[in-house]
Amino acid sequence: MMEALRVRLIGNGRAGGALALALSSLGYVVEGPLDRNYPRSSAKGVDVLVLSVPDSCVVKVAQNIYPEDSTLIMHLSGSLTLSALEPHLRKASLHPLCALPSPEIGAERLLSGVAMAVSGDPQVLSIAKSLKGNAFEVSDEFRTLYHAGATIAANHSVALMAQVAKIAEIVGVPRSVYFDLARNSINDVEAIGAEESITGPAVRGDFETIAAHLEAIGSISDLSCQMYQVLSEYAARLRPLEEPLDNVVKIHKRSGSDSHHERMDEISHAKGQICG
């Protein structure tokens, strides 16, 4: 029987705690997560040293630890490349594409077959497979853009749903009705693409409704108003302008980018009237 891998973690945040629990449940010999008082010899005596620290600290921590050529040094950052782990010989990264809100919930998610971006030493792929992760590679060239996409998908969607929950509270309707709508929209995008899924006033050229929305949302906050405007502009670019409905602002349908520019002007004008 193969001897269990010895893993030490530095960084006692949610990600480090979640990975420690998940690996321990699989039979790894886990030490830590250690706090900021870690010894500089932390790479000694283990097979894998995981740096589960904030992105801004990875380079400093890696440089502060004495290299051990036989030890794999791994970070959990989605945006950093392997160069952040210099001067260590064996380097890897593993970025779970899921939210880890607590060590306990995070450990369950890490063991549920989530997607994981991996790079570097081949042993990281073995670790991902032991977690039953859906591993894929991202080149260094696109690492930051990849992480931006993850941030939009996870963090920005939460911010958007927080706005929806606030509106539900004010209006007095169950927030679940909005959340169900959001789930259906995400399922549609996955099934048929954003261009075919997008609906709403920005696509129809219904700028009177947009102006009314901006006025209502502006009573919540200027930031909510600005967010609505920006997302409406983006929505309008996803699909060529449909025939306008009766009793809405009349605009001329044009081909190509002109129709998009016209809609942008109308949306910006509506925002300027209400939120400016």
- Tens of pLDDT along the chain (276 residues) come to 357 899 999 998 999 999 999 999 999 999 989 988 899 999 999 999 999 999 999 999 999 999 999 999 999 999 999 999 999 999 999 999 998 989 999 999 999 999 999 999 999 999 999 999 999 999 888 999 999 999 999 899 999 999 999 999 999 999 999 999 999 999 999 999 999 999 999 888 888 898 899 989 988 888 998 999 899 888 888 876 544 433 333 332 333 334 444 555 655 555 455 454
DSSP string of 154-221, one letter each residue? IIIHHHHHHHHHHHHHHHT--HHHHHHHHHHHHHHHHHH-HHHH--SHHHHT-HHHHHHHHHHHHTT-
User: What b/e string do you get for 128-165 counting C-beta neighbours within 10 Å, with b at 16 or more?
Assistant: beebebebeebeeeebeebbeebeeeeeeeeeeeebee
Provide CB contacts within 8 A for 208, sequence distance 6+: 248, 249
The answer to whether 6 touches 29, Cβ cutoff 8 Å, is: yes
Please state, in angstroms and rounded to a whole number, the distance separating the CA atoms of residues 109 and 14: 12
Please state, in angstroms and rounded to a whole number, the distance separating the CA atoms of residues 161 and 164: 5
Q: What predicted TM-score, i.e. pTM, was given to this entire model? A: 0.75
Domains of the chain: 6-138 (3.40.50.720), 146-275 (1.10.1040.20)
